[in-house]
Amino acid sequence: MLYRKVPKTGDELSILGFGCMRFPAKGRGIDEERTIRQIRSAIDWGVNYLDTAPVYHMGKSEQVLAKALADGYRGKVRIATKMPHWSVVTRADMDRILNEQLATLQTDHIDYYLLHTLNRTAFRRLVDLGVLEFLDAAKKDGRIINAGFSFHATLAEFVEIVDAYPWEFCQIQYNYLDENNQAGTEGLQYAAGKGLAVIIMEPLRGGNLGGRMPESVQAIWDASPVKRSPAEWALRWVWDHPEVTVVLSGMNEEAHIDENIRVAGTTVPGSLSVEERATIDAAKDEFKRRMKVGCTGCGYCMPCPFGVDIPGCFAGYNTHHLFPHDPAGRFQYIGRHSGLMGQTSYAGLCRNCGKCAKVCPQHLPIPELMKQVSKEMDGLVIPVVVPILKAGLWCMNKAGAARRAIFKEK
């Protein structure tokens, strides 16, 4: 594992951080045993930065992380967690939330404490409520060691927030598709220039830059004399920037964790050749040409009051467009959202209330996009075919129940 220093403190952080927002699932919850195994294995390989938040896994991420860090693991790592600004109404809420987090995480201090997903409006409201004095006090009494913020808004807002407090660090979305989006490269350089450690989230843009690639993008990787997985190309691109301190990966497959740890052991800034950069640029252009919706799957827009699974619908829609010859995208969409195998959550349920668009960090026009998704993905399948299939299933179940009752009587 390679390490980079936090400029203001000299603290050495592993360049790979463990993101705790996408733990492996078991039934409707977290597969705790597997999660704990994965986290401890990553720590044994040198990962020392773990990033969680109260909202991840509906409040369960901090709890499971605390269990993973028992048995001596807490002392080997830095915990990063976040204050949900939307839950803060008074200055007293800030202390209450932090104290609850310390109890949940079973620790007496948070190493890296962030104000979660700031934009200008949220930040100014928190400042008015006394957040800067709160951070000073919590640092002074030792409940937090380093203060930072995570961010999804415009570059101008980012600069305003960076300049407003002597932060030790910040966290931004950054990957080869987002060089000019949100804080982007300019924001990364600005923050690093001010002495902030920069933690990177979404290096694979919600998984879209790793895993299975569209044929035309895969052809670009295949044509390179250097053989790497798409995820490795994407991670190396981020780590190539000397201003980057830690790259967070929401790892939940053992194979991905192993690969990320291997790459994190060999990637130093400035190591990509001119040819390798050109390969990534070509893939970036092709991706941008094909991606329909720039949703990162962050889930901030959820829940939808009318039941739409917003990130799920966009994921199915993107998969459908990235792999047009593969019916898996459409099947996945119908299977997950039609109600055949659970709750109905398809795009056509959208009632255009606009609640989601107000909080989307990517500033996506979600209601308009939902109309498009519904037109292409719901078609006649969900409103017409699915009710017929459901009726068929209902009849089969009734017939099965009747048969069972008759045999029972006999």
Query: Which range, of 36-44, 138-146, 308-316, 377-385, touches ligand SF4 by CB under 6 A?
Result: 308-316
Least distance (Å) between residue 249 CB and ligand SF4: 18
The distance of closest approach from Cβ of residue 116 to ligand SF4 in the complex, given in angstroms and rounded to an integer, is 14
297 is a contact residue toward ligand SF4 (CB under 6 A) = yes
User: Residue 318 interacts with ligand SF4 (CB under 6 A)?
Assistant: no
Q: 199, 80 in Cβ contact below 8 A?
A: yes
Interaction between residue 161 and ligand SF4 (CB under 6 A): no
What's the rounded Cα separation, in Å, for the pair 84 and 94?
Answer: 9
How far apart are the C-alpha atoms of 254 and 41, rounded to whole Å? 9
- Residue 244 in tokens: 């980057």
Q: Which of 7, 187, 311, 339 binds ligand SF4 (CB under 6 A)?
A: 311
The two three-digit tokens of residue 249, written as one number: 């990966």
Tokens of 237: 């691109």
CB of 334 to ligand SF4, least distance (A): 18
Q: Which of 271, 352, 384, 399 binds ligand SF4 (CB under 6 A)?
A: 352
For position 304 contacting ligand SF4 by CB under 6 A, the verdict is yes
Cβ atoms of 77 and 20 within 8 Å: the answer is: no
Pair of tokens at residue 119: 């934009």
**3-state SS, residue 16:** strand
Q: Whose Cβ is closer to ligand SF4: residue 51's or residue 111's?
A: 51
Going from the C-alpha of 286 to that of each of 21, 136, 217, 278, 314, the distances in angstroms are 29, 46, 6, 12, 19
Q: Provide the minimum distance between the beta carbon of 341 and ligand SF4 in the complex, in angstroms, as a whole number.
A: 21
User: Binding to ligand SF4 by residue 300, rule CB under 6 A?
Assistant: yes
Contacting range for ligand SF4; rule: CB under 6 A; set: 130-138, 172-180, 323-331, 362-370 = 362-370
Q: At what angle do helices 215-223 and 274-290 cross, to 10 degrees?
A: 170
364 CB contacts (<8 Å, ≥6 apart)?
293, 294, 295, 357
Task: Choose the stretch contacting ligand SF4; rule: CB under 6 A; options: 23-31, 114-122, 255-263, 350-358.
Answer: 350-358
Q: What single-letter amino acid sits at 333?
A: Y
Tokens linked to 182: 């949100």
Smaller CB distance to ligand SF4: residue 7 or 311?
A: 311
Give the nearest distance from C-beta 351 to ligand SF4 in angstroms: 4
| Residue choice 291, 299, 344, 372 for contact with ligand SF4 (CB under 6 A) | 299
Q: Restricting to residues 234-273, which ones interact with ligand SF4 according to CB under 6 A? A: none
- Using the contact rule CB under 6 A, the part of the chain among 52-60, 61-69, 162-170, 349-357 near ligand SF4 is 349-357
Distance CA 71, CA 74 (A): 8
Could you tell me the sign of the dihedral formed by the alpha carbons of 205, 210, 213, 216, in that order?
positive
Q: Does 204 bind ligand SF4 (CB under 6 A)?
A: no
Q: Does 365 bind ligand SF4 (CB under 6 A)?
A: no
DSSP for 171-239, written as a single string: EEE-STT-TTSTTHHHHHHHHHHTT-EEEEE-TTTTTTTSSS--HHHHHHHHHSSS---HHHHHHHHHH
Q: State the residues that interact with ligand SF4 by CB under 6 A.
A: 295-301, 304-306, 308, 310-311, 314, 350-356, 360-362, 364, 366-367, 370
